Amino acid sequence: MTSVLKIGGSILTDKTRPQCARMDEIERLAREIAAAASDLVLVHGAGSFGHAPAKKYGLPDRFSPEGLRVTHQSVVKLNRLVVEALVEAGLYAVPVHPFSGVLLREGRIEQMPVSPIEEMVKDGLLPVLHGDVAMDKTRQAGIVSGDQLVPYLARALRAEVIAVGTNVDGVLFQGEVLPVISREDLPRIDAHLGKGSGIDVTGGMRGKLLELLELAESGTSSVIFNAGIAGNITRALSGEELGTRVVRSR
């Protein structure tokens, strides 16, 4: 049974300060994953390593080879910190950089090599992907958010546990966590969906939710939970109910 876990950049970094990693949180997440992980693909957000340079260079709206290079190199730095912490926690974590293999069309993933990732998981490795820049067939420059990678990987790997860790308790509506949400609830809650803290070029909670609602419509449910609370990552990976479950509409 394969699991896909995403940890948001707001947990791993201070999104208000460029290239500011929260090492204590990265190490905690590594320990929690080590306590629960088997057959796992990890995706992490870019946090201030990605969103700050992307905004500086006007990505993805403006094509800038220098912007692509600088932003990619910056997110690779965060990925290295995450991978090293996971290795330190005893896992066979390996980096997988989307920029090297993803091709977008109109901002959506058109191509991505998933077979190597499948083999890594089968053979006990832990592939660690991240939000990244990517080439776009129609728009030249693009950004591939971890939130778009999650449903793509979940479908391709037929994952059974899909968990998206953020810095809030789930999808909030009028101060309360919605335990379950489907596409039918969207019109009612849309105006209340947070944009997230700090600089975010990929849509915060709304962007995340839209991706997962689409995945749910194809029959695969997922959970959005607070990864900032100790123990929650292990709980989510064990399939425990917490946060908001995103399900298919009735």
Residue 56 Cα distances to 17, 62, 237, angstroms: 13, 11, 36
Residue nearest to ligand IP8 (CB): 131
Q: How far is the CB of 9 from ligand IP8 (least distance, A)?
A: 4
Question: x-or-dash pattern for ligand IP8, window 129-168, by CB under 6 A?
Answer: --xxx---------x-xxx---------------------
User: Which of 50, 67, 165, 170 forms a contact with ligand IP8 (CB under 6 A)?
Assistant: 50
Q: How far is the CB of 205 from ligand IP8 (least distance, A)?
A: 11
Q: Which is nearer to ligand IP8, 45 or 165 (CB)?
A: 45
Among 3, 13, 71, 226, binds ligand IP8 (CB under 6 A): 71
Nearer to ligand IP8, 35 or 199 (CB): 199
Rounded to whole angstroms, the Cα distance separating 248 from 250 reads 6
Out of 33, 159, 201, 227, point to the residue binding ligand IP8 (CB under 6 A): 201
CB of 4 or CB of 46, closer to ligand IP8: 46
> Which CB, 136 or 147, lies closer to ligand IP8?
147
Cβ closest to ligand IP8, residue 9 vs residue 243 = 9
Q: Is 75 a binder of ligand IP8 (CB under 6 A)?
A: yes
CB of 63 to ligand IP8, least distance (A): 14
| Phi, psi (deg, nearest 5) at residue 9 | -65, -20
Only one of the segments 32-40, 43-51, 166-174, 216-224 lies at the binding site for ligand IP8 (rule: CB under 6 A); that segment is 43-51
Residues that bind ligand IP8 (CB under 6 A): 9, 45-46, 50-51, 54, 71, 75, 131-133, 143, 145-147, 201-202
